Amino acid sequence: MALSLDYVTLDVFTSKVFGGNPLAVVFLPDHSSEPITRDQMQAIAREFNYSETIFVHPVSLMAPTKRRIDIFMTTKELPFAGHPTIGAASWLLRLSPCREDQSRFEALTTKAGDIPISQVAASSLVSASVPHEFHLHKAQFPLSELLRLHPTLGPFLQSNDYGNIGFPVFSVVRGMTVILVELPSINALAAVDMPIGGEMIKLSSALNGGYLDAGWDGEGLINLYFYVRDVPDGGRTVLRTRMLLGNFEDPATGSSATGLAAYLSLVSQQPDDKIVFDYDIVQGIEMGRRSDIGVHVVLCDDKRGIEKVELIGSAVQVSSGQIRLN
């Protein structure tokens, strides 16, 4: 007899179907004589072919207010990712047909640790207090290397205003690092193209030809995150962003968004007593999949570290069904 798993698909960081970032949510059975293996989860993630697929474990009697999730890309498992976290929180707290779920769960359990989740009052939004180990690396990503990978940016970045600058390399947690590239205009953001040959940046230390500090090598991802500040958007100003990784562009990247927000908060020139920052980030416009990402940052009192980061967004269900395992 063929074993099948229930699933739903969501569009995350949007309230409209076919916007935001797609996510497959697969529900593991309460009881099975054949436990689902990691290889099977990876195969299912490849089948959906989304940037991420999550697997929701049954409720544990030992931790009834938490729900464990496993997060898979098409090629590897991740300890944490932003849009799967917001998608899972949206399902459990708002979209699940089980009303008991909507008042029961207080946290997601991931490989990166427990993530508190909650509904944002009087809205369709949910919030997740994301795990973090923010670290600014000593090395910078050079302008010359950026232009080698993305020559379409040459007309925008080869002026005297830019000179021979480098771009900050900033880790959110171990294994998830962003290179933050500020661009001068929306036209420059629109000009960003895939890196030459789909080249990937090495996740290695400066001693080994990369950009990370010693001890930060290993498994994970490092991607370029392009942004433009103070872009008018419906009576407000937002950060407009794009994320590219090899031959892949993501319409919404929660981990990169939290990295950008944390970095901007730490280097802010705001008054000394300001330690709370809120960011509205819009991504995916160039792909036709607008995503609205909120990030709430609280600095430590000395402004040298991050006390709390909350990722905020919504999701909408697109489909449901069953997927076969054999």
Is the torsion defined by CA of 26, 30, 34, 35 positive or negative?
Answer: positive
- Is residue 139 included in any domain, yes or no? yes
Residue 22: is its pLDDT beyond 80? yes
pLDDT of residue 1: 46
Residue 153, both tokens: 């940016």
Q: Tell me, yes or no, whether 41 lies in a domain.
A: yes
Domain co-membership, 175 together with 258: yes
Domain carrying residue 121: 4-130+315-324
Is the domain of 175 the same as that of 253?
Answer: yes
Q: Please, which residues have CB within 8 angstroms of residue 237's CB and are 6 or more apart in sequence?
A: 229, 230, 231, 280
Predicted TM-score of the model (pTM): 0.93
For 66-112, what is each residue's pLDDT tens digit? 999 999 999 989 888 899 999 999 999 999 988 776 778 999 999 88
Tell me which residue of 67, 43, 44 sits closest to 57, measured CA to CA.
Answer: 67
On whether residue 15 sits in a domain, the answer given is: yes
State whether 70 and 202 are in the same domain.
no
- Whether residues 24 and 146 fall in one domain: no
Q: Within a domain: residue 309? A: no
Q: Which residues contact 236 (CB under 8 A, 6 or more apart)?
A: 280
What distance in Å separates the CA atoms of residue 179 and residue 203, rounded to the nearest whole number? Answer: 11
Question: Are 167 and 229 found together in one domain?
Answer: yes
112 and 139 housed in the same domain: no
142, 101: one domain: no
Assess if residue 45 is contained within a domain: yes
In a domain, 206, yes or no: yes
Q: Do 175 and 33 belong to one domain?
A: no
Verify that 91 and 73 share a domain, yes or no: yes
Asked, for residue 310, whether it belongs to a domain, the answer is: no
pLDDT of residue 33: 63
Q: How many domains does the chain have?
A: 2
Residues 62 and 157 in one domain: no
Q: Are residue 171 and residue 275 in the same domain, yes or no?
A: yes
Based on the domain organization, do 172 and 119 belong to the same domain? Answer: no
pLDDT band, very low/low/confident/very high, at 162 (cuts 50, 70, 90): low
- Whether 146 maps to a domain, the answer reads yes
pLDDT, tens digit, for every residue of 134-151?
999 999 999 989 999 999
**Would you say residue 246 has pLDDT above 90?**
no
Looking up residue 168, the CATH number of its domain turns out to be: 3.10.310.10
pLDDT at 45 > cutoff 50: yes
Q: Which of 311, 309, 305 is nearest to 266 (CA)?
A: 305
